Amino acid sequence: MKFFIDTANLADIREAQDMGILDGVTTNPSLMAKEGITGKDNVMRHYKQICDIVEGDVSAEVLGTTFDEMVREGEELAELDENIVVKVPMIKDGIKAIKYFTEKGIRTNCTLVFSAGQALLAAKAGATYVSPFVGRLDDISTDGVALIEQIVTIYRNYGYTTEVLAASVRHPMHLVQCAEIGADVMTGPLSVIKALLNHPLTDIGLAKFLEDNKKAATK
């Protein structure tokens, strides 16, 4: 399973990269705004900075909603760095743009996916990644993990190569459940990945090992 982090925060990205388990980064316009990154030049510079830190795919989202706007923006983003994946919303012109990018060899991430039918369309258009939002479905009392399972099954049935990127992962159980059912990738905050480290028996066991070693050394 690939681990992406969903952030535009450079310190978090550096920390995850330094852990040695980071496979990529996803961003969205809200995450860029949260870091105070606004204006086209600043946004482009920030994406480049992210690409310089991460050894892996970096999803950069288009802001346009028409085919022409998405193509123009996506082509500029793709030129920034070979690791850029153009993130395109799940709308009619978005599907058309994904098809266009696929034919030009530009990789894409179809975002804001909330149903299996939408995921099927993204795969047919040739998206590199499809991003169903697990947490946001759970927020409205719908089983987000069940959607991931449904999409994994459908893609396997037909051999689609689009990778299932479980997005909006909010806690370690989401991550583990998505891994159990075969999601190719997860993305969420760094805190979710770091939460995988925690187990009280690990802490108790380590403290005991160190204490026993200390006792033996002073005998």
How many residues in the shown chain lie near ligand E4P by CB under 6 A? 11
Interaction residues for ligand E4P, span 121-160 (CB under 6 A): 131, 133, 135-136
Closer CB to ligand E4P, residue 176 or residue 210?
176
- For 11, residues 6+ apart whose C-beta sits below 8 A from its C-beta are none
Q: Which of 108, 118, 128, 187: binder of ligand E4P (CB under 6 A)? A: 187
d(CA 56, CA 51): 8
d(CA 181, CA 25): 22
Closer CB to ligand E4P, residue 8 or residue 125?
8
Q: Do residues 75 and 103 touch, judged by C-beta distance below 8 A?
A: no
Whether residue 87 lies in the annotated active site: yes
Q: Which of 119, 168, 174, 178: binder of ligand E4P (CB under 6 A)? A: 168
d(CA 130, CA 127): 7
Q: Over the Cα atoms of the chain, what is R_g?
A: 20
Phi/psi of residue 212, nearest 5 degrees = -60, -40
- For 209, residues 6+ apart whose C-beta sits below 8 A from its C-beta are none
Interaction residues for ligand E4P, span 76-105 (CB under 6 A): none
Closer CB to ligand E4P, residue 7 or residue 78?
7
Q: Using the rule CB under 6 A, is 162 a contact of ligand E4P? A: no
Least distance to ligand E4P, CB of residue 210, Å: 38
Q: Using the rule CB under 6 A, is 26 a contact of ligand E4P? A: yes
Helix, strand or coil, per DSSP, at residue 46 = helix
Q: Which of 37, 77, 85, 111: binder of ligand E4P (CB under 6 A)? A: 111
Q: Do residues 116 and 150 touch, judged by C-beta distance below 8 A?
A: yes
Closer CB to ligand E4P, residue 59 or residue 71?
59
Torsion over CA of 120, 121, 127 and 129, rounded to 10 degrees?
Answer: -40
Q: Using the rule CB under 6 A, is 108 a contact of ligand E4P? A: no
Catalytic residues: 87
The site for ligand E4P (CB under 6 A) is made up of: 6, 26, 28, 111, 131, 133, 135-136, 167-168, 187
